[in-house]
Structure 1
Amino acid sequence: MAELMSNSVQEMAASGQEPPVKYFYKGNDGGVLDSSVPLIEIPVVDLGLLSSPSTSAQELEKLKLALSTWGCFQVINHGMTSSFLDKIREVSKQFFASPMEEKQKYSREADSIEGYGNDMILSDHQTVDWTDRLYLTH
């Protein structure tokens, strides 16, 4: 069940192909927000504060809270230059614009989350995200 989908989302979008049923959320499985619940901003963690003895405990607590409640956070003061981040964006665009045969060289293995592909298919009734991704660990 955990195999890659036959067509990438990029291929389906480029050809105007209708997405398969597994991409459509049904009922409340799409995580629709209740309009009575206020939107909350994604937590921001300042890496500069993590390295300071006077502020590291507070910032570490923010990091812990962000991971335990959101599962993600925005990082500031990470030391990466804008030009470096621009280069990462450009390399990413080049990768996803490359021919499918090239991207398939980096396909994730059936039992792994790392590599190029779509959501892992864990159930025949699973709704998957309309996305192709390249997930790498370092």
Structure 2
Amino acid sequence: MAETQQETVFKSVLELANNNEVPEKYIYAQGSINTSPLLLAVPQVDLILLTSPDRQQELNKLQSGLKSCGCIQVINHGIEDSFLDKVLEISKQFFALPTEEKLKYARTVNQIEGYGNDKVLTDNQRLDWSDRLYLNVFPEDIRKLQF
């Protein structure tokens, strides 16, 4: 299995796309994915309301959102739009780099941080056709950057 993990970490989507055949790990059985439109809106959780005396309703929305769709949209978080725009621009710049440059930041097999694909947990796991850059930035003591 270690060989499979190593292969997944270092084969970018671009490399996979250059092959004549789609690797089996990226093929889902017909009907195994629900392709119907999302019927449930992603809940918005107001960070300010989570700190108010009347926070129970917001806590319920948080719990419900994480249980029902696995995600939430956080509003009133205090992060400036200009900062978020800058993060988006830097992300675009990173993914526009040549593959050789991005591979300098490749995650190792046993780590989640870094550039790469899905972490392979089982031999029969189906993978997403995507490249990712995962970084823990806060709190600083959990960072494991080794680049």
Q: Report the TM-score range of the alignment, normalised by the length of the smaller protein.
A: 0.7 to 0.9
- Structure 1 unaligned spans of 5+: none
SS in 2 for 1:134: strand
SS in 2 for 1:61: helix
Q: State which of 28, 36, 40 in structure 2 corresponds to 1:25.
A: 28
- CA displacement, residues 43-89 of structure 1 (integer Å, 9 cap, x when unaligned): 111112112223x2211121122222322111111111221111010
Q: State which of 13, 22, 41 in structure 2 corresponds to 1:9.
A: 13
Q: How does 1:85-96 map to 2 (within 5 A)?
A: 85-96=84-95
Q: How does 1:29-108 map to 2 (within 5 A)?
A: 29-33=32-36, 39-54=39-54, 56-108=55-107
Q: Could you tell me how far 1:17 is from its partner in structure 2?
A: 5.6
Distance across 1 between alignment mates of 2:84 and 2:96: 18
Call closer, same or farther: CA 1:92–1:65 in 2, change over 3 Å. Answer: same
Q: Which has the higher helix share?
A: 2
Segments ≥4 residues shifted beyond 6 Å: none
Among the aligned pairs, what percent are the same residue? 52
SS in 2 for 1:126: coil
Q: How does 1:110-121 map to 2 (within 5 A)?
A: 110-121=109-120
Distance across 2 between alignment mates of 1:17 and 1:46: 48
Q: For residue 23 of structure 1, what is the amino acid of its counterpart?
A: Y
Q: TM-score, normalised by structure 2?
A: 0.77
Q: Could you tell me how far 1:30 is from its partner in structure 2?
A: 2.1
- Structure 2 unaligned spans of 5+: 139-147
Aligned length: 133
Distance across 2 between alignment mates of 1:107 and 1:97: 15
SS in 2 for 1:89: helix
SS in 2 for 1:49: helix
Quote the residue 2:121 is aligned against.
122
Q: Could you tell me how far 1:96 is from its partner in structure 2?
A: 0.7
